[in-house]
Amino acid sequence: MQKKNRIILALDVTSRADAMRIVEAVKGYVDAIKINWPLVLATGPDIIREMSRVKDVICDFKIADIPNTNKLIVEQAMSRGASAVICHGFTGDDSVKACVDAAKGQVFVVTEMSHPGGKQFTAPVADKLATLAKSAGARGIVAPATRPERIAALRKIIGGLEIISPGVGAQGGKASDAIRAGADYIIVGRAIYDAPDPGGAAKALADEVKEGM
């Protein structure tokens, strides 16, 4: 994925027509498309291939199972054109390594989650999850734009790994704060796809990202 606008679109819509319309409007302002269960369950797994023809696709399946099941899930995503996947780390190093092997390293591990409940169970172990991501050979981590100070702290643990950061807009985080704290990319869903003018909203965020650089 080309690091240009530093925005990953979270395409959490549930119709193919909406997905196509939004991607057409914003493709000049985002570097990748993140696909989660709502879109895949609504339209079928071939949407991964279809979107991958427009932009790099990250499959955010929050994979969290035993190593063999993780491997099977990752193989299905990658064979349909995904460039990377997102997995949980609380399942342990063998499960994360199974994802890393199956995705040839193209894995982001969830650390502290961005929503309020993320403080309950994920925040206390986030540093350990970041350490695990590094030792397992992952490409990067997912860290909260709603708590930029945590992005900065996790950056110190992972060094040069990538940070992709959800929580901008609808969850209250600011794009420029997340980038300034050390995020490589912000992940944005509703603030783009629910906007009356998704293209304009994505452009405004791209401008704001530049402010944070």
**Is 10 near ligand 3DU (CB under 6 A)?**
yes
Asked if residue 5 lies in contact with residue 209, where contact means CB atoms within 8 angstroms, the answer is yes
97 is catalytic: no
Considering only residues 42 through 61, tell me which ones interact with ligand 3DU, judged by CB under 6 A: 60
Q: Using H for helix, E for strand and C for coil, what is the string for the chain?
A: CCCCCCEEEECCCCCHHHHHHHHHHHCCCCCEEEECHHHHHHHCCHHHHHHHCCCEEEEEEEECCCHHHHHHHHHHHHHCCCCEEEEECCCCHHHHHHHHHHCCCCEEEECCCCCHHHHCCCHHHHHHHHHHHHHHCCCEEECCCCCHHHHHHHHHHHCCCEEEEECECCCCECHHHHHHHCCCEEEECHHHHCCCCHHHHHHHHHHHHHHHC
26 or 142, CB closer to ligand 3DU? 142
Question: How many residues sit close enough to ligand 3DU to count as binding (CB under 6 A)?
Answer: 20
169 or 198, CB closer to ligand 3DU? 169
**Is 12 near ligand 3DU (CB under 6 A)?**
yes
| Site track for ligand 3DU across 98-137, x = CB under 6 A | ------------x--xx---x-------------------
| Site track for ligand 3DU across 149-168, x = CB under 6 A | -----------------xx-
Binding segment toward ligand 3DU, per CB under 6 A, in 25-33, 41-49, 150-158, 188-196: 188-196
Give the separation between CA 32 and CA 56, rounded to whole angstroms. Answer: 5
**Is 173 near ligand 3DU (CB under 6 A)?**
no
140 or 144, CB closer to ligand 3DU? 144
Which of 177, 181, 175, 183 has its CA nearest to residue 206? 175
**CA within 13 Å, CB half, 72:** 4
68 or 124, CB closer to ligand 3DU? 124
Q: Which of 27, 62, 119, 134 is catalytic?
A: 62
When binding is defined by CB under 6 A, the residue of 59, 133, 142, 158 that contacts ligand 3DU is 142
- Among all residues, whose Cβ is closest to ligand 3DU? 189
Residues in contact with ligand 3DU by CB under 6 A are: 10, 12, 36, 60, 110, 113-114, 118, 142, 144, 166-167, 169-171, 187-191
